[in-house]
């Protein structure tokens, strides 16, 4: 019987079917052990087991990438326009998104401590998020703040009432619409 803990190990490339090849087998390991390890409640485990057993009955197209496969499962609808694998897909996606080490998290905290110094200790969460988005976005784009050209629509919106008139509520991380901000800065 396969060990689910092996599935949580990082893979070198996503073109391997290692993560979901067990999913599509008729005879496969039980999903109960890993669900219990992540403290899933008993009624949810029953749903997961049922969906785990039934997922092999559908002919799936995206078999080259783990993320594409589970994305296809997430978008699947039956005749009643329901996703019969919704809970299983949510569980699988949460497992896929787990960091395999603390390095990424430690990098973010390191950047936060560089941004939020003793002189700038009253930064709002929204401001800190914005600064970190810009830093990581520029790094991902392979640019620095000196070589990045700000899009014309962003330059035009700076100083306008519509841009700054988002309300006077205190900022929390839940208030930030990350996708919208990233699309403005990095089209």
pLDDT in tens, 138-167: 888 888 888 888 888 888 888 777 766 655
Most distant CA pair in the chain, distance = 63
Residue % of the chain over a pLDDT of 90: 16
pLDDT tens profile 34-52: 899 889 999 999 999 999 9
Backbone angles phi, psi at 157, to 5 degrees: -80, -20
Q: Retrieve residue 171's tokens.
A: 């900022």
Residue corresponding to tokens 């785990």:
52
pLDDT at 43: 93
Mean pLDDT of all residues belonging to the chain: 77
Q: What is the distance between the alpha carbons of residues 121 and 185, in angstroms, rounded to a whole number? A: 25
Question: Long-range contacts made by residues 89-93, C-beta under 8 angstroms, separation at least 24?
Answer: 91/35, 91/38, 91/40, 91/48
The more confidently predicted of residues 179 and 112 is 112
Kindly tell me if the per-residue pLDDT of 81 is higher than 90. Answer: yes
pLDDT at 11: 47
Q: Retrieve residue 98's tokens.
A: 């787990």
Q: What is the distance between the alpha carbons of residues 141 and 148, in angstroms, rounded to a whole number? A: 9
Cβ atoms of 184 and 151 closer than 8 Å: yes
For the chain, give me the number of helices (H) and strands (E)?
10, 0
């Amino acid at each position: 019987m396969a060990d689910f803990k092996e599935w949580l190990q990082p893979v070198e490339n996503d073109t391997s079917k290692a993560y979901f090849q067990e999913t599509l087998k008729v005879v496969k390991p039980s999903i109960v052990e890993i669900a219990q390890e992540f403290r899933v409640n008993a009624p949810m485990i029953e749903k997961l087991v049922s969906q785990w057993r039934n997922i092999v009955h559908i002919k799936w197209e995206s078999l080259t990438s783990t993320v594409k496969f589970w994305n296809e499962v997430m978008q699947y609808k039956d005749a009643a326009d329901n996703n019969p694998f919704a809970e299983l897909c949510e569980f699988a996606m949460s497992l896929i998104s787990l960091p395999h080490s603390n390095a990424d998290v430690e990098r973010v905290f390191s950047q936060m401590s560089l941004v939020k110094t003793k002189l700038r200790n009253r930064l709002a969460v929204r401001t800190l998020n914005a600064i970190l988005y810009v830093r990581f976005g520029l790094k991902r784009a392979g640019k620095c703040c000196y070589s990045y050209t700000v899009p014309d629509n962003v330059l035009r919106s700076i100083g306008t009432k519509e841009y700054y008139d988002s309300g006077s509520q205190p900022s929390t991380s839940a208030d930030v619409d990350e996708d919208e901000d990233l699309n403005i800065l990095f089209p």
